[in-house]
Structure 1
């Protein structure tokens, strides 16, 4: 198996994701550990946690990352929404840690009109509260670069760096790089020179060592659109070149690269997109 994978359904239990991932030759995967559209969730059952670890051992699919609920907004100026978001994210981190998951991918949050500085401060405070409440957790928080729609923060490397610099425990945070989001945010990397310049900028702002996972998605919208719309590999404004550059970059050989492209229930689209990516790997 290689380091390529996709987001897998956990219908029937989190352990079921391994069977689905194995059936399409994933080497890694992303899951939700709970219903992403609800605030409350039942605790993971002890038997299901055990099954999850058994399947992880059996299949060798690793690392696994989780994605946090889209309801969470640590940047909110509303105390009610912020408190609910902090509580929900703590649950996300605790559940992922029970499953020995590498990290929980989290959209940093929206300032909802309060401004960038207030939003970044609020996000850092929220993460500090969650991390303080989970002192023994080994699962990382993986802040995802965003497309920057509306008041959403995290669409500039420097914004992510500012949030991390404000944390009490910056070592508990890594970065998830989404290719669609990066293009929409205004980062040009569709040729070799621009690709290298972008990573130089990333390294200066955040350090390449903080990068832990990739989301590989083509974009329905062009450079700087600030619109988050994923599409199939090679069928959007990114084309194939940046994926070829990423897949053959020696610096990223050990990092998981996970699809979030559109798909039907039977996972045929995942199979198609994984095949397109594997064709780009230089042997």
Structure 2
């Protein structure tokens, strides 16, 4: 009699892996061929060859993810001018402490079944792909995400190793295992270095090659949405810069191996020469794209607010979305980045804050979660998750994302006049009060400094104007004086 087999965990439970501050669990699906001996009637032994699949998990070092918090005074890397960024040396890596044992436990929150929601919301975060793109799936499961963003390669280097076929295969298997529709709800993010508006040919070709490589990776993975920053004018006219972006998109859409991936333009906060803070700029790019089925827009709530598009009240939110529809068109709305703002309205500063703690506030996100057109779209958190540990060092706390996903899902249908909503709103605003005050002070000081400079410039221009006017008056007076003398002299003659 054969001994009873030992109970094993299911492949699904093994694949629902976990992430710490500096380790990630790399999940791969391996196929093995084994021979099994069975007993038929009459105790006759039979051998059969069986194909087995198993999920193999091993720990690998984790790298930094997009959306990591910066010093509060620094702008988010997203709105740095790519023309300036490409000349910088990579920043030295920060040493991190290991997370607590609790963080090493399986899923921090269960995924909410979308079919059980009042609205079909697909909310997640920008997760790590350390150790292979397949790990983004397990990292999304870890925080209870129904959608997610990821870098398909290093966002800080021009050239990266090609996509590992085994990683791609594992990505497909794990996506199927965890029921992720990667074509609809995965939103890879492009490199910060890429500037499709670049006017220098050598640099433009470099950016284009990096961009197309990402589109080809998307097609291999079955991903249909690809988010990217429009780039920088480099000081050139905005119309010409938008035309260059559209031209590069037209080229990329015709490249072999890019499938039908939709290139999704992200709106920006309006700092310096960065393109995309005005809806008109997004419309100009789309207008120049030949295949309109392969272009769309991702609205970042923090960027929109900092650029001067208000979302805080139901009336302001409705007005902003109506404006977007009139200028760009809601049919091009493909995704959202969900971030509150540490900086005030129209400040043109991109400082991501946790949901409800910033100047946007919880009501803005209530407006968004109850907005009909967001159903079915991937909505991705890029909020800060670093906090000080007991030893004073910074560690990642992914529970923040897990909690924010559940908070956003709970806003659907919630009464804003209820005690529940008011209590949550008050608590979150209190939590972010010191950060808001600090950034507001910085913004006020800058505004005061800019006002004084403008006043001095105007005074200088005024003095020059008066001097020029006086000189002009003297010239006119001299002209007429000479004319009178000449006329008198001619009269005497």
Scaled by the length of structure 2, the TM-score of the pair is 0.56
Secondary structure in structure 2 of the residue aligned to 1:29: strand
Q: Distance in 1 between matches of 2:274 and 2:286?
A: 16
Unpaired stretches in structure 1, ≥5 consecutive residues: none
1:136 Cα deviation after fit: 5.5
Q: Distance in 1 between matches of 2:278 and 2:401?
A: 29
1:282 paired to 2:413: yes
Q: Distance in 2 between matches of 1:136 and 1:77?
A: 24
1:74 paired to 2:196: yes
Counterpart among 160, 176, 179 of residue 41 in structure 1 = 160
**Structure 1 equivalent of residue 151 of structure 2:** 32
1:20 paired to 2:139: yes
Preserved CA contact (<8 Å) 1:86 1:129: no
What pairs with 1:138-149 in structure 2 (closer than 5 Å)?
138-149=260-271
1:71-125 Cα deviation digits (max 9, x unpaired): 0011122222211111110001111111111311111110011121121111112
Q: Distance in 2 between matches of 1:175 and 1:246?
A: 16
Counterpart among 156, 165, 172 of residue 53 in structure 1 = 172
**Structure 1 equivalent of residue 402 of structure 2:** 271
**Structure 1 equivalent of residue 279 of structure 2:** 157
1:129 Cα deviation after fit: 1.8
Preserved CA contact (<8 Å) 2:198 2:234: yes
1:61 Cα deviation after fit: 2.6
Unpaired stretches in structure 2, ≥5 consecutive residues: 1-112, 115-121, 387-395, 415-493
1:235 paired to 2:357: yes
Counterpart among 246, 250, 256 of residue 368 in structure 2 = 246
1:128 paired to 2:264: no
1:266 Cα deviation after fit: 4.1
The count of aligned residue pairs is 283
1:135 Cα deviation after fit: 7.0
Higher Rg of the two aligned structures: 2
Preserved CA contact (<8 Å) 2:219 2:257: no
Preserved CA contact (<8 Å) 2:219 2:259: yes
Scaled by the length of structure 1, the TM-score of the pair is 0.96
The structure 1 segments of at least 4 consecutive aligned residues displaced by more than 6 Å after TM superposition are: none
1:261 paired to 2:409: no
1:27 Cα deviation after fit: 0.5
Secondary structure in structure 2 of the residue aligned to 1:126: helix
1:37 Cα deviation after fit: 0.5
Q: Distance in 2 between matches of 1:178 and 1:9?
A: 20
